[in-house]
Amino acid sequence: MDDDVESSWKVFESDPACFNELLDALGVKGLIVDDLYSLDSASLAALQPLHALVFLFKWVAGSDEKGGASGEYDQDFTGFFMRQVVNNACATIAVLNGLFNIPGAEVGEQLAQLQEFSTGMDAETRGEIFTSSDWLRTQHNSLIPPSAISLANLGLPKTAEDAYHFVVYLPHLGAVYELDGLKRAPINHGAYPEAGEGWAGKAREVIEHRISTYPPGSIHFNLLAIRGDPLPSLRAQLQAAGDNPMAEVYQEQIRIEEEKRSAWAFENSLRRHNHLGLIHSLLLGLAQASPSAYDKAIENAKAKYKERKEKAKKDGTWEE
């Protein structure tokens, strides 16, 4: 494999299964990453204790200098911040910028050593230290399946693709901050009230304002929550409940959490496998067993693609 390909950071999927695998690999204890489908009060309350929000959005060069036209750069930020100095590392950088600002967050020995080594360095040098770590890059790329074919050196024209970027929102010293590895400094979005929803309510305002800067109907966003792992607390509550009717409630909540983790593990096992060989074998077997069935399958696939394309154009979500 080409050295540049071998040493590169791969595109990271915005899915809690991927992020939780990364947390495990980094030795993080007591925290998980969960989907957040809505920013309403009930959804935020259900994820407490909520420590940070990881936001994925379509990146547009030269726009959104201060996170949705709000906030101010804080050159004197006293927390942890590192800049992104290599392509495709934004997911891991967002996670680390979040983790190292969570009081009492427990991380693995290798990650703790990197943090300690970078103490006192400026944000760009710190980014170089972390992203030059072969170990950290390996953890980031661990869910990327091996390539079965290579298109390198074929002289194929390069096509422009949409760029997506991860940032993290979190509370720090009474204010909501946006930590974006592509920005020169953390962005202070202002103080939040301690009462009510606290920092999460202020973060909702900032994120909704940012989304409003995109065309109506845009769906180029995803939001994940870094929260405390509820399983240890639920198991302790179950043990303490004894014969109390609440024991059934705790058992059901534990079941949901354990099933969620089983689903994450299964999804990640599929991600690690390159299915191209299987697909080729299935199509080859179909073509050999029944050429007419193979031709029909191809025509059905083309028709389905055309149908989806027309529907997307009608809905305004199709991009050439």
* Mean pLDDT to the nearest integer, 44-66: 83
- The per-residue pLDDT for range 127-167, each reduced to its tens digit, is 999 999 999 999 999 988 766 566 566 666 666 667 889 99
* Mean pLDDT to the nearest integer, 190-195: 90
pLDDT at 28 over 50: yes
- Rounded to whole angstroms, the Cα distance separating 180 from 204 reads 17
Q: Quick one: three-class SS letters along the chain?
A: CCHHHHCCCCCCCCCHHHHHHHHHHCCCECEEEEECCCCCHHHHHHCCCEEEEEEEEECCCCCCCCCCCCCEECCCCCCCCCCCCCCCCHHHHHHHHHHCCCCCCECCHHHHHHHHHCCCCCHHHHHHHHHCCHHHHHHHCCCCCCCCCCCCCCCCCCCCCCCEEEEEEEEECCEEEEECCCCCCCEEEEECCCCCCCHHHHHHHHHHHHHCCCCCCCCCEEEEEEEECHHHHHHHHHHHHCCCCHHHHHHHHHHHHHHHHHHHHHHHHHHCCCCHHHHHHHHHHHHHHCHHHHHHHHHHHHHHHHHHHHHHHHHCCCCC
pLDDT band, residue 69 (cuts 50/70/90) = low
Q: Which two three-digit tokens encode residue 87? A: 């392509």
Fill in the amino acid letter for 102: I
Least Cα distance to 86 among 178, 160, 7 occurs for: 7
What is the per-residue pLDDT for 312? 76
pLDDT at 62 over 70: no
CB 228 within 8 A of CB 51: yes
Please give the positions annotated as active site.
90, 165
What is the per-residue pLDDT for 173? 95
pLDDT at 319 over 70: no
pLDDT band, residue 232 (cuts 50/70/90) = very high
Contacts 24+ apart (CB under 8 A), 102-109: 102/31, 102/51, 102/52, 102/170, 102/226, 105/28, 105/30, 105/31, 105/51, 106/27, 106/28, 106/29, 106/30, 107/26, 107/27, 107/28, 107/29, 108/26, 108/27, 108/28, 109/27
What is the per-residue pLDDT for 77? 96
Residues of the chain with CATH 3.40.532.10: 3-145+162-228
Of 113-122, 163-172, 212-221, which range is least confident? Answer: 212-221
Q: What is the mean pLDDT of the chain?
A: 88
Superfamily of domain 3-145+162-228: Peptidase C12, ubiquitin carboxyl-terminal hydrolase (3.40.532.10)
Of 151-155, 224-228, 243-247, which range is least confident? Answer: 151-155
Taking the CA atoms of 27, 90, 5 and 130 in sequence, report the sign of the dihedral they define.
Answer: negative
pLDDT at 2 over 60: no
What is the per-residue pLDDT for 317? 60
- Rounded to whole angstroms, the Cα distance separating 203 from 50 reads 12
At a CB cut-off of 8 Å and minimum separation 6, what does 135 contact? 110
Of 61-65, 121-125, 132-136, 203-207, which range is least confident? Answer: 61-65
